[in-house]
Structure 1
Amino acid sequence: MLTVKNISKIYGETIQYEALKDINFMIEEGEFVAIMGPSGSGKSTLLNILATIDTPTSGTVTLNEENPHQLNSEQIAVFRREKLGFVFQSFNLLPTLTVEENIVLPLTLSGESVRVMKRKVAEIAPKLGIEQLLHKRISEISGGQAQRVAVARAMIHHPQLVLADEPTGNLDTKASKDVMRLFKQLNEEEQATLLMVTHDPLSASYCRRILFIKDGKLISDIHQASTQEVFYQEIMQQLAHLEGINDEF
């Protein structure tokens, strides 16, 4: 469904920095994948390229055989709005709007009818446990609730791919677990395809698969084959290896 082929990204002209180096992977429809790696490894650059916020220096990204980087700016805006969903660490919700108005924003921008928007909100709000919050302002709800609203906004138009950038970064432990359980539920029950950048191994353990990046290179790719607890330990071992901790002993 998503194919990343020979992606490289170089910044600068006189002094060049290669943020990504020949990245290759595929994500099937319905997968729940995390990207992990040390600070400066290139994971955010990769996410920005997938989100069409940045462009690769070389290589191709295709989503269901469409390469968004070949589109003009107006077409890219439509592609991003209709085929991608976004969940950010800082929520990126509009404080002057109600919860419901924030959720339907992608549909509003696409010119959807009020009747359809109301129906879709009625469908998704109970799944995320926010049906009692629809008429509240963002300033009146908690951080965990705000992230649920952000997830609803990302899912309301049934995107082909949901991209999440450190979605639990501003949440406490309980709210983080609630949001990750929500992602897992959406993946399993709605077959949502999710790709998440995270530094948190506990959050990553809710995924089915982890891509590890270091120094702009894809180092390893592991799948959950047993329990979440076992997968968490595998993630910790991979992170220790990436940081060179295993080599110290």
Structure 2
Amino acid sequence: MLQVENLSKTYGTEIKYEALKELNLTVNDGEFIGIMGPSGSGKSTFLNLLATIDQPTSGHVLLNGKDPNQLNQEEIAKFRRRELGFIFQSFNLMPTLTVEENIVLPLTLDGEKISIMKEQLNRLAARLGIASLLKKRIAEISGGQAQRVAVARAMIHQPQLLLADEPTGNLDTKSSKDVMQLLQQLNQEEKATILMVTHDPLAASYCKRIVFIKDGELIDEIHHNGNQKNFYDEIMVKLSEIEGVDNEF
């Protein structure tokens, strides 16, 4: 459902910096993929290009055969709102709105019928265990609850692709585990297609596949073998290989 073809991104004019170098990736419906690599490897650049927040220097991003970068600004905004869901490390919720108002915001912007908004809201709130929070303000709920609200907002319009940028980065261990179990359930039960940038190997162990990026290039990938502990260990070994220091002088 997602095809990334020879994707490159170069910043600067006189002094050029290649953030991504002809990256290729195929994502099938219902996959849960983690994107890992050292700081400055190009992970966030890659996610921004998929999110149409930034445009590639060359190459293509095709979602169900369509290239959003061929659209005008108004069409891109509509594409981003309807086809993509976003989960951020900092939640990016509107503090002046209630939990309920935050969740239905994408549907409100699209002018959806109130009856449909309420139906979707109630289904998701029950599914994510936040039905009792709907009338609360964001300042009145915990970080873990706020991230659940962010997940609900990202899923309310049933996007083709869910993009998560360090979704556990601001959470404690228990809340991180809760959010990752939630994403795993959404992937398994709702067939949500998820791409997640993370530096956390425990969070990554909930994915079905991990792709590793270094110096702007996709250098390796590993697949979940059915045992989360074994997958976690495999991720740790791969990260040490990629980020390891050469001891030779």
CA shift at 1:189, angstroms? Answer: 0.3
Question: How many angstroms apart in 1 are the aligned matches of 2:220 and 2:194?
Answer: 19
CA shift at 1:199, angstroms? Answer: 0.4
1:3 aligns with 2:33: no
Paired residue for 2:141? Answer: 141
Q: Which runs of 4+ in 1 moved over 4 A?
A: none
CA shift at 1:113, angstroms? Answer: 1.1
5+ residue gaps, structure 1 = none
1:83 aligns with 2:86: no
**Length-normalised TM-score, structure 2:** 0.98
Paired residue for 2:111? Answer: 111
Paired residue for 1:194? Answer: 194
User: Would the alpha carbon gap of residues 80 and 27 (structure 1) be closer, same or farther in structure 2, given more than 3 Å must change?
Assistant: same
- Aligned counterparts, 1:154-233, within 5 A: 154-233=154-233
Q: Secondary structure at the match of 1:77?
A: helix
Question: How many angstroms apart in 1 are the aligned matches of 2:174 and 2:122?
Answer: 26
Q: Secondary structure at the match of 1:30?
A: coil
**Length-normalised TM-score, structure 1:** 0.98
- Aligned counterparts, 1:22-33, within 5 A: 22-33=22-33
Q: Secondary structure at the match of 2:18?
A: strand
Question: How many angstroms apart in 2 are the aligned matches of 1:242 and 1:3?
Answer: 25
For 2:15, give the aligned amino acid. Answer: I
Q: Deviations over 1:104-148 (max 9, x none)?
A: 000000000111111111111011000000000000000000000
For 1:228, give the aligned amino acid. Answer: Q
Question: How many angstroms apart in 2 are the aligned matches of 1:106 and 1:238?
Answer: 38
Q: Deviations over 1:134-190 (max 9, x none)?
A: 000000000000000000000000000000000000000000000000000000000
Question: How many angstroms apart in 2 are the aligned matches of 1:30 and 1:190?
Answer: 9
Q: Secondary structure at the match of 2:92?
A: coil
For 1:21, give the aligned amino acid. Answer: K
Q: Could you tell me the percent identity over the aligned residues?
A: 68
1:243 aligns with 2:243: yes
For 1:26, give the aligned amino acid. Answer: T
Paired residue for 1:152? Answer: 152
Paired residue for 1:50? Answer: 50
When the two chains are superposed, the root-mean-square deviation of aligned CA atoms in Å is 0.9
For 1:56, give the aligned amino acid. Answer: P
Paired residue for 1:41? Answer: 41
Question: How many angstroms apart in 2 are the aligned matches of 1:109 and 1:226?
Answer: 40
Question: How many angstroms apart in 2 are the aligned matches of 1:226 and 1:103?
Answer: 33
Question: How many angstroms apart in 2 are the aligned matches of 1:96 and 1:244?
Answer: 45
For 1:121, give the aligned amino acid. Answer: L
5+ residue gaps, structure 2 = none
CA shift at 1:244, angstroms? Answer: 2.3
For 1:227, give the aligned amino acid. Answer: N
State the aligned residue count: 248
CA shift at 1:248, angstroms? Answer: 4.0
Q: Deviations over 1:28-66 (max 9, x none)?
A: 000000100000000000000000000000000000001
Question: How many angstroms apart in 2 are the aligned matches of 1:131 and 1:243?
Answer: 42
CA shift at 1:226, angstroms? Answer: 2.9
For 1:86, give the aligned amino acid. Answer: F
